[in-house]
Amino acid sequence: MTITVVGSIAYDAVETPFGVRERMLGGAATHFALAASVLHDVRLVGPVGDDFGDADLAVLQTRGSNIDDVERVAGGKTFFWKGKYGWDLNTRETLDTQLNVFEHFAPKLSQASRDCDVLFLANIQPGLQLQVREQCAQAQFVALDSMNLWIDIARDELLEIIGRVDCLMLNDEELRQLTGKPNLISAAHDILGWGPTVVVAKQGEYGSSLITKDDFFALPAYPLHEVIDPTGAGDTFAGGFVGFIASQIGGGVTTPVLRNAMAYGTAIASFNVEQFGTEGVVDVDVAAVRQRVDDLYAFAHFEPIDVALRA
């Protein structure tokens, strides 16, 4: 029983109001795997260059994640991304994206990675996501992330892969851009007509919303007094969300499982943003995550009181 994740394994250069990092381990698949491995077994798929350090390979293997399908491309350079955050950390500008080894990547999964129960197609070219989807034909739950870049330049392939997954996870402005609908609920319901049964709208510091045919559920982000670096928060959320679903897959992807998955995603993402890069999640343990899940439940819970209201 494993989760297979394919997506970027990267070096990131990041500037936030709290500091600068010129080159730190990042990437969508990296952040996802670190989070999901708190809850379930993970296999990573993706290329790195021969500039990728052994210490970083060791980080990818945190909590036993399997890296047999992480290919070190001789003479290649690891994917590179550079971004800068505004003073309230809500705005982010991408300053550079170098696909490098992803430009000529043709995913060939080992049988063990193909045999996954749960597949996460992290943000990467939709054409590559399609190739991986085809190789993992029997996965019981497949979730997909993407971004505005691919909506702009690879829309047809993106629509094709969306039609072949169970869950689409996007930022809310990307859901609006993808559907051309200004209303988020209406945009999500359009997507529920394209194939997925679950849509998750990621809303940064405001949390996230879950939309299915029969349910709507929203959770705020975990209330932290200090956020240092939001890079990878979306992928870390996805790791907690998908990791929890994978851990419960035997009982089916029910509404209570999805709602709890939202809480696990939110809790693990809160550890990610407290430190730069992968530093916040690498050492996290399940008890610390569980504590924040319990806190979220307490914050969100209320009893309707029976009071007289004006007629």
Q: What is the contact surface with ligand AMP in residues (CB under 6 A)?
A: 8, 10, 12, 26-28, 81, 97, 123-124, 147, 149, 231-235
User: Between 27 and 196, whose beta carbon lies closer to ligand AMP?
Assistant: 27
- Cβ neighbour number for residue 239 with a 10 Å cutoff: 35
Beta strand ranges found along the chain (DSSP E) = 3-6, 10-16, 19-26, 42-49, 66-73, 79-85, 92-98, 118-121, 141-145, 167-171, 198-202, 208-211, 216-219
On whether the CB atoms of residues 28 and 272 are closer than 8 A, the answer is no
Smallest distance from ligand AMP to CB 97, Å: 5
Smallest distance from ligand AMP to CB 27, Å: 4
User: Between 224 and 300, whose beta carbon lies closer to ligand AMP?
Assistant: 224
Smallest distance from ligand AMP to CB 33, Å: 12
Furthest-apart CA atoms within the chain: distance in Å: 75
Smallest distance from ligand AMP to CB 217, Å: 21
Q: Helices 172-179 and 184-192: crossing angle, nearest 10°?
A: 60
On whether the CB atoms of residues 5 and 122 are closer than 8 A, the answer is yes
3-state secondary structure of 240: helix
User: Between 90 and 255, whose beta carbon lies closer to ligand AMP?
Assistant: 90
User: Between 28 and 293, whose beta carbon lies closer to ligand AMP?
Assistant: 28
User: Between 9 and 249, whose beta carbon lies closer to ligand AMP?
Assistant: 9
User: Between 38 and 249, whose beta carbon lies closer to ligand AMP?
Assistant: 38
Q: Helices 255-273 and 233-247: crossing angle, nearest 10°?
A: 140
Smallest distance from ligand AMP to CB 235, Å: 4
Smallest distance from ligand AMP to CB 30, Å: 7
Cα–Cα distance for residue pair 89/76, rounded to 1 Å: 33
Residues 275/278/282/284 CA torsion (nearest 10 deg): 40
Smallest distance from ligand AMP to CB 263, Å: 18
Q: Which residue has the tokens 């993808």?
A: 178
Smallest distance from ligand AMP to CB 168, Å: 15
Q: What is the DSSP letter of 92?
A: E
Cα–Cα distance for residue pair 11/283, rounded to 1 Å: 20
User: Between 6 and 249, whose beta carbon lies closer to ligand AMP?
Assistant: 6
User: Between 94 and 291, whose beta carbon lies closer to ligand AMP?
Assistant: 94
Question: Strands 198-202, 208-211: parallel, antiparallel or unpaired by DSSP?
Answer: antiparallel
